[in-house]
Structure 1
Amino acid sequence: MDERAVQCALSALERYHDGPPKHPRSYADLHEHVLALARAGLLVVVDEPINKDAEMHPLVRWQYRGGIAEPDRKAFLFTQPTDSKGRRFDMSVLVAGLAANRDVYRIGFGKPLEEIGQAWVRAIANPIAPRLVADAPCQEVVTTGADLERDGYGLDGLPVPISSPGWDNAPYLSAGHYITKDPDTGVQNVGNYRGQLKAPRRLGMNPSVELRAGIFAHWQKCKARGEPLPCAVVVGCPPVISYASVQKMPEHLDELAVAGALADGPINVVRAKTVDLLVPAEAEIVIEGMINTESLEPEAPFGESHGYVNLQEYNAFMEVTAITRRRHAILTSFISQVTPSESSVIRRVAMEPVYLHHLRSVLGIAGVKRVAMHEPLTSLYAVIAIQCARGTPETEIWRALYGAASLHRFAGKWV
């Protein structure tokens, strides 16, 4: 991107100059990240109306499907989103803004690419507990109760794109970070799951039952108690939180604490308004509510990373009790579904060095030289290539194969 384009992008982003941080922190919030992308020539600002239901994702996806090399892919910020009914929204939409390519990821992470692998290893081993603050930017605008039913004040007021027009049955959150709490231990979990906008106060979801994600374990415990599951869905936040939310962590770890370790300092959190949860203080949008544990509803179809459509099935849903946000909020949306995609990059950059560390340092297999994830199947962790030094004993090669297959419980097969 030439200097003139960079200056045009920076000019369009004047509204996101928020001044000094409200609370001390060692990490960039999303506004600062967007400005950093613009300065680096990695941001395309679309400062004119664009239909988020029919045009937005297809435009950005073209750089993945149209043969553009990964280093040349960009983040996109849409400052005037509209929908197919002509509604205009008072917030921007960031697409591919966290992992359009490895450089975008690096800027969000705040460390050189060669240091990211060890940063993940250290963060998982030595998490830093979040820091509670009294007030926060994420609660500059608060909508609760009957106001959520007013036109444009509930979920219908969020410019959530349709990922695959003509295939998906609704707008879906693709970068919704679901925060729930273990009712027995009190430990919070943050995971990224899709979220179907069903009504102004109703959000469908897919809690990855087959992977036994943390949120599903919490749902089962609350179901046994006969209680709904309190939940807060973060849509847009400091990049390090997004990077932690999409990775597979041990269940006893709070992803916000891991994000703090990635940032070399605690993540600021604030108490949610209507549920007993701690949410990132610098989040852009937080959707609070209760997940029903007595009933399921039809959800999907929705495109998946392997290129096929996940057909309609029965899944959990959430009744929204509050929506809080920043005054100049940026809604984040991942380019997910069929790979290559932003989702495959965001997982691959972190998981390749984690697998390498596991094989070399934890299992002590010195002959392992490199681990690479096959991008079309990254989200499924289905094909992992392990390169060993010439002359590595066959027994060590087999140990590496078994070791890679056993790192995550949901990937327990090798072929």
Structure 2
Amino acid sequence: MGYANLHSCICDLERSGQLRRITIEVDPHLELAAIARRAYARQAPALLFERVRGCRFPVLANLYGSLERTRYIFRDSLPRLQALIGAKSDPASLLRPPTRLLAALHGASHLLPRRRRSAAVLTHRCQLHDLPQLVSWPADGGPFITLPQVYSEHPAQPGWRHSNLGMYRIQLAGNAYAADQEVGLHYQIHRGIGVHHQAAASRGQDLPVNVFVGGPPALAVAAVMPLPEGLPELAFAGALAGQRLALAQPPGWPLPVPAEADFVLCGRVAPRQTKPEGPFGDHLGYYSLIHDFPVLQVERVYHRPGAIWPFTSVGRPPQEDTSFGAFIHELTGTLIPQVLPGVRAVHAVDAAGVHPLLLAIGSERYTPYSPCDRPQELLTQACAILGQGQLSLAKYLLIANEQDAAQLDIHNCAAFLQHMLQRCDWRRDLHFHTHATIDTLDYSGTGLNQGSKVVIAACGPPRRPLPEQLPERLDLPSGFSAPQIALPGVLVLQGPPCFAPGSQPTADLQRFCSHYATDHPINSFPLLILCDDSAFAATTLENLLWVSFTRSDPARDLYGIGAFQQDKHWGCNGALVLDARRKPQHAPPLEDDAGVIRRLESWAVHGGPLHGII
């Protein structure tokens, strides 16, 4: 049986050697988050900080710090849940073997929440300033809740069956928020709470909202699951926990709360009120800057006896949320062919910041009676992918044909990129969507939520070998230097800085491309990437993906040698050139506070309180 609350999970992890208690006092300002990030990098156990400076509540970090530990937490319910998900994608699978049917039925029995008259979480009240004031990065605008479960119901259809539970960050203090009264509610586009907020605003009403912290671990995972419309996250949490979710009703409040939650903030969101929120060090590896977002007017803060505050710190991938993503893919990957006919798999690349880069494997079935020498159905499938929920936020979608390489692994990014580069025809296979919607956290486009997309589709036999050595003559234009081969067929070069006064990114790239004829040896590399530090970008595949796809917008930053436009289609006869230099509109990258790191390193020496953890 799964865990009914966070306390039982912590006790089990401690018994199995997967949790360490930290008894030294730790500062919630930068120290705790820096420890958590380094603990994740070391694949350390979950960490329970018992003494948090200025706060009476203990803090739990690195709970989902490895995919193995995440699987362990849900080990009892996973077979039943996978049978239930498999039944949706392939009902006949329930009979192979027959025990799958029993497992699926058992899992379905946990979908309906149950009501309790009383709840531990409603026994105590506190103020916002009593909660852990955790600040993760030096330029953050204040303390944030980083594992919130934000609950709302549709105003026209109240009740949990039409509810939404999402993980939308909450700024606890700072900026212009009224102390102990207001918190920032940062929800982005394509989020379910937006539908509820719009419905309430159209009626001229405030939207009641609960923010849960802690509780059964299944609740946090359910809050980030890409569930189909009509399946409430509360129901999924019960199936994942292996037991029906217990709900209780606070007196005089319209929304229920999980009876086993550790904390609950109850408040209301006005129809049109916003205040500046941020900055916040985010999962792309940069700060999301200050923007206006809704305000939650907090009316009550509840907590249970012995409440524990779970916390995570995000930053340049991989971080703890990487384990979340991998676990979710394991649960939902089998549903892709059903939701997107003809598509075998889709992979949002964590190292590239998740939303900037999607890899997909589709299938060409339009003309099975003739050779497949150009993308056809792949383009239809690409449109379907970009029309699916949060997948629509992608900037780069690379889609390959399953029939060309049945063994192609969508999670082997290096092999996938090489497969594409062997087959792409830059005169034909680039398909742009301009003035489109991108991730709120991505500043490579033209404005907040604004940018472009490109679909790169490839099918057929290889068109070219991919070089692995530099040509004898490159004859680089002035200002361009330090060529490095990052992958076969991918040449990385260092370009003039875009932050220099008077710099003109477009002029630099046009000068670079016009320097070469289409028969120049540099075109043996199908992809040229220009960046600020070619040695850094070429050192690891993770560096290459992060630099290339978080620092570029397809419509503005893709160029080509021998470029042309015909019938409103853009292509090039030579190499494709990606400008991945930092631009003036980009957000600053995340950097640790040097003094904090020195202090932590002194604690990590042999015999120190954090030895073996960070």
CA distance in 1, matches of 2:263, 2:203: 30
The 3 A distance-change label for structure 1 pair 79 and 231 is same
The question of 1:161 aligning with 2:134 is answered yes
Q: CA RMSD in A?
A: 3.1
Give the whole-Å Cα distance in 1 for the aligned partners of 2:296 and 2:8.
31
Conserved 8 A contact 2:45-2:62: yes
Whole-angstrom distance in 1 between the partners of 2:303 and 2:35: 27
Residues 111-158 of structure 1 show CA distances to partners (whole Å, capped at 9, x for unaligned) of 4878765555569996812111100121121x3xxxxxxxxx411100
- In structure 2, the residue matched to 1:348 is 326
- Residue 305 of structure 1 and its aligned partner are, at CA, apart by 1.3
2:48 is matched with which residue? Answer: 77
Q: 1:44 to 1:116 in 2, by over 3 A?
A: farther
Q: Which residue of 2 aligns with 1:93?
A: 59
Shift of the alpha carbon at 1:104? 2.0
Match of 1:383 among 357, 364, 370: 357
1:132 aligns with 2:115: yes
- Partner of residue 298 from structure 2, selected from 320, 326, 331: 320
1:290, distance to aligned residue in structure 2 (A): 1.1
Which of structures 1 and 2 has the larger relative contact order (alpha carbons within 8 angstroms, sep 6+)? 1
Q: Say if 1:90 and 1:378 are closer, same or farther in 2 by CA, change over 3 A.
A: same
Alignment check: 8 A CA contact 1:183 1:218 kept? yes
> 1:262 — aligned with what?
240
Aligned to 1:15: none
Q: SS of 1:52's equivalent?
A: coil
Residue aligned with 2:60, SS: strand
| Kept in 2: contact 1:189–1:253 (CA 8 A) | no
**Secondary structure in 2 matching 1:50:** coil
Q: Describe how 1:166-205 pairs up with structure 2 within 5 A.
A: 166-186=138-158, 187-198=162-173, 199-205=179-185
In structure 1, what is the equivalent of residue 422 of structure 2? none
Contact 2:284/2:353, CA 8 A, preserved across alignment: no
Q: What is the CA-CA distance between 1:294 and the residue it aligns to?
A: 3.1
SS of the residue 2:273 aligns to: coil
C-alpha distance in structure 2 between counterparts of 1:117 and 1:377, whole Å? 28
Structure 1 unpaired stretches of 5+: 1-24, 144-152
Contact 1:274 1:322 in 2 (8 A): no
Shift of 1:384: 3.7
Q: Which amino acid aligns with 2:115?
A: L
Task: Indicate the residue corresponding to 1:206 in structure 2.
Answer: 186
Corresponding residue of 1:60? 36
Q: Quick check: 2:274–2:293 contact (8 Å CA) kept in 1?
A: yes
Aligned-partner Cα distance in 2 for 1:162–1:348: 26
- Offset of 1:248 from its aligned partner? 2.3
Gap change, CA 1:388 and 1:292, over 3 Å in 2: closer
- The correspondence for 2:73, drawn from 92, 108, 112, is 108
Distance 1:334 1:398 in 2: 38
SS of 1:296's equivalent? strand
Query: Helix, strand or coil: the match of 2:243?
Result: coil
| CA 1:90–1:180: 2 relative to 1, 3 Å | same
| Cα deviations by residue, 1:281-340 (Å, 9 ceiling, x for unpaired) | 100000111112231111111122111111101111111111111110001112223321
Q: TM-score of the superposition, structure 2-length normalised?
A: 0.54
CA shift for structure 1 position 220: 1.1
- For the residue of structure 1 that corresponds to 2:267, the secondary structure is strand
Percent identity (aligned): 25
- Mark the CA change 1:406 to 1:61 in structure 2 (over 3 Å): closer, same or farther: same
The residue correspondences of 1:17-56 to structure 2 (distance < 5 A) are 27-56=3-32
Amino acid at match of 2:30: A
Quote the offset at 1:397 in angstroms: 6.2
Deviations 1:259-278 (A, max 9, x none): 11223432000013453111
1:220-299 alignment, distance < 5 Å: 220-299=198-277
C-alpha displacement of 1:363:
5.2
Report the Cα offset of residue 373 of structure 1.
4.0
| Equivalences, count | 363
* Residue 302 of structure 1 pairs with residue 289 of structure 2: no
Per-residue deviation at 1:401? 4.9
- Aligned-partner Cα distance in 2 for 1:184–1:257: 20
Contact 1:355 1:404 in 2 (8 A): no
Q: Which runs of 5+ in 2 are unaligned?
A: 90-103, 174-178, 398-454, 456-614
For residues 162-207 of structure 1, the C-alpha deviation after alignment (integer angstroms, 9 at most, x for no partner) is: 121x110100001111111100122221111111112212111101
Separation of aligned partners in 2, 1:156 and 1:121: 45
What whole-Å deviation, never above 9, does each CA across 1:198-220 have from its counterpart, x for those lacking one?
A: 22121111011x22x11111111
Q: Deviations over 1:63-106 (max 9, x none)?
A: 44x5x3xxx33321111111xxxx2x222111121x10112211
Question: Corresponding residue for 1:408?
Answer: 389
SS of 1:349's partner is helix
308 and 33 in structure 1: CA distance in 2 versus 1, 3 angstrom threshold: same
Partner of 1:4: none
1:349-372 C-alpha deviation (Å, 9 max, x unpaired): 11254234322x55565x94x654
